[in-house]
Structure 1
Amino acid sequence: MVMRKRLIDQDAKPFLYQSIGDYQKEQFEKSAFRTIGDLSHVIINLYGALPFPLQEGVPNNLGYDKRTKTLVFVDSPSKMTGYNTLKKAQELRAGFMGGWDKVVVLGWNFVTDIGKILENIKDDKLEVLVIPPDLLDQLKTKASYEKLIKTGKIKFSSLQYLTIKQIKVKQGKETDEIEVELDNYTLLSPDALPLDQKNKEKLEEVMGDDPLALIEYWSIDPDYDGETFRSKWQDYRQNTENDADEFRVIKKAKLEVPKVSGKRKVCVKAVDVFGFESATVQEVK
């Protein structure tokens, strides 16, 4: 997203920007960790919890915080954290070793509709946080791991959730016009952000008054194939071509698109001022 914005700023059109491979999975395979369990134990410690002792019947990706009676579930860097993961975490919270008051899921990669999944689940005893994507780079040696533990500099960031209003379609003979409008933006765990109390209070004020003001950049793929996102429209802060407000993105966009047979799948992606990316997908006839 950031690279795409820079290319747009430089009027580098047309351009092809490709992200190749699964970064976390590739980094894990290059790392000194022999198993996912070894990596999970390190992440649990960095989070501030304790891993369970290795024994039969105990998953090696689980940890706990005894003081708050919280279970910690670490997902694999080779998986997409989604509904099945969250359901499993809920089941473990309810039944593992007598049950827990809360479960925290730490994930690397997330399905596109993770925000909608969490909204449908409506579970205030389930928290989902993002493992820093460059963490494996910082864990190349035992010394670097011990330093991270001592300094406590690793922050597990909030998961974010973007919603759009119902897409409007104006039918034409050969093309259609679609109108996409941003609806809301939510940081699901704002307390996880590395901000002091004063700035947290300011953030809470913005989230209450105008949460879309947190959006730095957003783009639209009007013919999303479910795998590769191809941006056909974008807006970003300091872009005054769409309106005169350089401190906010516009909230509504109209695109002329080729007609399709059947349903059209539209994907909208956004990056906020903290650099977090979120996406949502909507089907229209």
Structure 2
Amino acid sequence: MLIPAHAAGAGLARVFFGKKINPPKGRHWAYTQENIDKLIAQNKIELTSNGTPSIRHYLEDTKGAAVQSIWTDVIPLNPVATERTGYDTQKPEALLERIIKCSSNEGDFVADFFSGSGTTLAVAEKLNRRWIGCELGKVGIQVTRARLVESEAKPFLIENIGNYQREMIYLTGGRIYEMQNLILKLYGATPRDKMSGLGVRKAVDTPLTPPPLYQEGLGVCEGKGVCEELVYVGYPDRPVTAGKAEELALQAQKLDGRGYKRLVILGWDYEYNYQQSLEARKKALKDKLEVEIISRDIPPDIYDYLKKAKTDEDIEALSEKVKFYERPYLKMNEPKVKDLKNDKVEISLSIKRYVLMDIPVSQTSKKGQEDYAALMKIAKDNFAVLIDYWAIDWDYDGFTFKSQWQAFRGNGKKAKTVTTEAKEILDKKSRAIAVRVVDIFGNDAGAVIEIS
């Protein structure tokens, strides 16, 4: 903006741009000749249309007033806001934009250790900041991941390391093996002496009909009645790997001189591509593995139950409330590769099957039972209704999953299901393609496809 260069009171002429100019009648120039020369050198003096010198005043030249601690000009999210995710404590992006802009520069790190729906991370991404987010809730992680993928964020990595649970155990004077034994008991298993993390559970044999793909051809315990299964509880600070599962299964075949037909793994987290890697390991074995492997997730709120499990009576009562859901299974069709001109290929991928072994819907009420039955029927007819979104990294490096393609389900009860097919034109070369599927309950499954 331009402001007058003169003030009240008569005064003498000054030199502007090599020419003497008198101030308006009854006014004087507000600057000495020395300061006028400096302002001209800084390109801060301009002649108006009538030839009167004026000062160019920029916003940064104004100190302004400090922002107060109460902000009333940021409008709360309304029910139909386009940025709304449905997360209860979601904050407006405008609020985080102001905070991030006034406290960081482009390229700086922004950290939110209670990231919730990921508003801080989404805004930091838009403002070209690097970011780190932490969240315990599975729903929050799911919402944040979908939000970042939908906004076409740069590649990011999700680490689920469980250190919070481990630290809480240590802080309360507990030990990992004590925690493992408690979880075994909550699952209904009896811990084994001198074998940390292992227990035995008597289970009623209830094979699935039809069996999931990865169990085809395997016996299920004794085929009927009650059987004993070997149960393993993983460590909270590391994922269960396919190699560990294979090692446990081979051990289960010979343990106690008679072996076990079923191995149940309770894990805090599993390595990426766990199920596919396990299948490959089983096929590579010289002798057929005669152990059914069931992999289940330890619920994220398990620590709340561990705090309450003081006596055997407590454990027995709590064991009916703790749910260890079986991990979903993803099966991809063989990719289709079509040669094109200029060393290009068109690669088509499609999901063959997505199986959710356990649907986390409470069946303690009649309505819950009806909802469960209805969802099971729908899922049986069309597995795509279970998928919230899925993403593809067309050039997977074996470490960082980059969401280069994604498909989402719609919103609302009558929303369309996601497409189960994807196509991309790529350079003709050998590559690994990674797929990640997230279902409507927050579970995820992955697969890696090799193209030679």
**TM-score normalized with structure 1 length:** 0.79
Q: Does the residue aligned with 1:126 lie in a helix, a strand or coil?
A: strand
Q: Does the residue aligned with 1:42 lie in a helix, a strand or coil?
A: helix
Q: Which residue in the other structure is 1:113 paired with? A: 273
Q: Which residue in the other structure is 1:79 paired with? A: 238
1:88 correspondence with 2:247: yes
CA displacement at 1:180 relative to structure 2? 1.7
Amino acid at match of 1:36: I
Q: Does the residue aligned with 2:260 lie in a helix, a strand or coil?
A: coil
1:61 correspondence with 2:197: yes
Q: Which residue in the other structure is 1:242 paired with? A: none
Is this contact kept in 1: 2:387–2:438, CA < 8 A? yes
Q: Which residue in the other structure is 2:169 paired with? A: 31
Q: Does the residue aligned with 2:162 lie in a helix, a strand or coil?
A: helix
1:97 correspondence with 2:233: no
Quick check: 213-222 or 198-207, which moved more?
A: 198-207
CA displacement at 1:134 relative to structure 2? 4.4
Q: Which structure 1 residue ranges, 5 or more long, are not aligned? A: 240-244
Q: Which residue in the other structure is 1:43 paired with? A: 183
Is this contact kept in 2: 1:75–1:105, CA < 8 A? yes
Q: Which residue in the other structure is 1:153 paired with? A: 321
Q: Does the residue aligned with 1:23 lie in a helix, a strand or coil?
A: coil
Alignment partners' CA distance in 2, 1:282 and 1:47: 35
TM-aligned CA distance change 1:150 to 1:226, over 3 Å: same
Amino acid at match of 1:253: A
Is this contact kept in 1: 2:438–2:445, CA < 8 A? yes
Point out which structure has higher relative CO (alpha carbons under 8 A, 6+ apart): 1
Q: Which residue in the other structure is 2:353 paired with? A: 184
Amino acid at match of 1:4: R
Amino acid at match of 1:39: M
Q: Which structure 2 residue ranges, 5 or more long, are not aligned? A: 1-141, 204-226, 283-288, 364-368
1:173 correspondence with 2:342: yes
Deviations 1:148-186 (A, max 9, x none): 763443211121111222222343426543222121112
Quick check: 143-152 or 97-106, which moved more?
A: 143-152
Is this contact kept in 1: 2:389–2:409, CA < 8 A? yes
TM-aligned CA distance change 1:130 to 1:26, over 3 Å: same
TM-aligned CA distance change 1:132 to 1:255, over 3 Å: same
Alignment partners' CA distance in 1, 2:380 and 2:392: 26
TM-aligned CA distance change 1:118 to 1:20, over 3 Å: closer
TM-aligned CA distance change 1:4 to 1:75, over 3 Å: closer
CA displacement at 1:30 relative to structure 2? 4.7
Is this contact kept in 1: 2:198–2:231, CA < 8 A? yes
Q: Does the residue aligned with 1:166 lie in a helix, a strand or coil?
A: coil
Q: Which residue in the other structure is 1:128 paired with? A: 295
Alignment partners' CA distance in 2, 1:153 and 1:207: 25
Alignment partners' CA distance in 1, 2:298 and 2:386: 21
Of 142, 146, 162, which residue of structure 1 is paired with 2:307? 142
1:255 correspondence with 2:395: no
TM-aligned CA distance change 1:217 to 1:70, over 3 Å: same
Q: Which has the higher strand share?
A: 1
Q: Does the residue aligned with 2:354 lie in a helix, a strand or coil?
A: strand
Q: Which residue in the other structure is 2:52 paired with? A: none
How many residues are matched?
268
Q: Does the residue aligned with 1:73 lie in a helix, a strand or coil?
A: strand
Residue identity over aligned pairs, in percent, reads 29
CA displacement at 1:60 relative to structure 2? 1.2
Deviations 1:92-146 (A, max 9, x none): 333322433532111122233332355564756332211123434x36x734777
Amino acid at match of 1:2: V
CA displacement at 1:218 relative to structure 2? 0.6
Is this contact kept in 2: 1:158–1:193, CA < 8 A? no
Q: Which residue in the other structure is 2:405 paired with? A: 233
Quick check: 229-238 or 38-47, which moved more?
A: 38-47
Alignment partners' CA distance in 2, 1:118 and 1:207: 25
Is this contact kept in 1: 2:387–2:418, CA < 8 A? yes
1:5 correspondence with 2:146: yes
Is this contact kept in 2: 1:115–1:160, CA < 8 A? no
Amino acid at match of 2:446: A
Q: Does the residue aligned with 1:6 lie in a helix, a strand or coil?
A: helix
CA displacement at 1:19 relative to structure 2? 4.3
Alignment partners' CA distance in 2, 1:185 and 1:50: 33
CA displacement at 1:248 relative to structure 2? 0.4
Greater Rg over alpha carbons, structure: 2
Alignment partners' CA distance in 2, 1:246 and 1:92: 47
Quick check: 269-278 or 17-26, which moved more?
A: 17-26
Is this contact kept in 2: 1:221–1:233, CA < 8 A? yes
Q: Does the residue aligned with 1:59 lie in a helix, a strand or coil?
A: coil
Is this contact kept in 2: 1:89–1:105, CA < 8 A? no
**TM-score normalized with structure 2 length:** 0.52
TM-aligned CA distance change 1:130 to 1:14, over 3 Å: closer
**What RMSD over aligned residues (CA atoms) do the two structures have, in Å?**
3.1
Alignment partners' CA distance in 2, 1:134 and 1:18: 26
